[in-house]
Amino acid sequence: MNAAPQSRFAIRKFEIADIADALKIEHQSFPTPWSSAMFVLELSKSASICLAATEDDVLIGYLVAARYAQVWHVMNVSVDPANRRAGIGSSLIHELFRLADGERTHYTLEVRVSNVAAIRMYEQCGFRSAGTRPGYYADNREDALIMWRSTDDNFVPPNATNPTEWKGHR
Ligand SMILES: CC(C)(COP(=O)(O)OP(=O)(O)OC[C@H]1O[C@@H](n2cnc3c(N)ncnc32)[C@H](O)[C@@H]1OP(=O)(O)O)[C@@H](O)C(=O)NCCC(=O)NCCS
């Protein structure tokens, strides 16, 4: 009997040296991929968390988050197409939570309304939608879904379309 394939990946800090491999994943993942300069900019910020998922020392996924005031913005999460649906994206997000969660820590992100895979992953990680930004994406004028997660049960996102639905939920 054949054993099911197992993904044995590790998560570590994303380094400048990872950028070249990340760009290959970017180009397979996004219609408007990040440039090298965008990765360098995020890595240079003192209030950023940049994580790499590797298998046998090969980069197979990454996450970039930056903190503005009290809110962590998840700027980029991407997994190599050959390694998707193996828990890597959600593990990167949970590692961000492990590193950044405090008593009142908030996280937000924008995601294309058509990106069902990412929306499901974020929901599974505790994010909830709180409205849209119409025409947010320049390439096709697609709307962005705005999602939030907070460690504070009483937190209500500033742009929540249904503020009362947020109270008491995580
Ligand atoms: C979105 C993305 C990062 C998910 O990474 P991943 O490692 O495949 O995600 P996970 O394996 O951790 O999946 C976690 C959950 O998300 C959901 N999910 C992931 N991919 C899915 C898909 N293709 N269809 C439906 N649900 C999906 C599932 O609920 C999954 O849990 P399950 O496998 O137990 O059912 C990956 O598809 C990707 O890199 N996409 C291109 C880049 C992108 O869109 N990034 C997000 C930009 S905002």
Atom of ligand 1 nearest to the CA of 92: 12
According to the model, what pLDDT value does residue 1 have?
44
For the CA of 61, the nearest atom of ligand 1? 39
Look at the chain and count its residues. 170
Residue that has been written with the tokens 């209500």 in this structure: 156
Residue with tokens 């009290």: 70
CA of 102 from ligand 1 middle (Å) equals 26
- Clarify whether residues 159 and 77 are in a common domain: no
pLDDT for the residue 7:
64
94 in the same domain as 13: yes
Expressed in angstroms and rounded, the spacing between residue 75 Cα and the centre of ligand 1 is 16
Does residue 143 form part of some domain? yes
**pTM (two decimals):** 0.94
Same domain as 131, residue 90: no
For 24, 78, 146, 165, the CA distances from 39, given in Å and listed in that order, are 13, 13, 22, 36
Same domain, 55 and 121: no
Domain count for the chain:
2
145 in a structural domain: yes
Q: Could you state, in chain order, the average pLDDT of each consecutive group of 10 residues for the chain (170 residues)?
A: 64 98 98 97 96 98 95 98 98 98 96 98 97 95 97 88 64
84 in the same domain as 16: yes
At 159 the pLDDT is 74
Inter-residue contact 54 to 9 (CB < 8 Å): yes
Answer yes or no: do 31 and 65 share one domain. Answer: yes
Predicted local confidence at residue 169, as pLDDT: 52
Task: Give ligand 1 pocket residues (Cβ under 6 A).
Answer: 29, 77-79, 84-90, 111, 115-118, 120-121, 124
What is the domain range of residue 60?
7-100
> Alpha-carbon distance 62 to 79, whole Å?
7
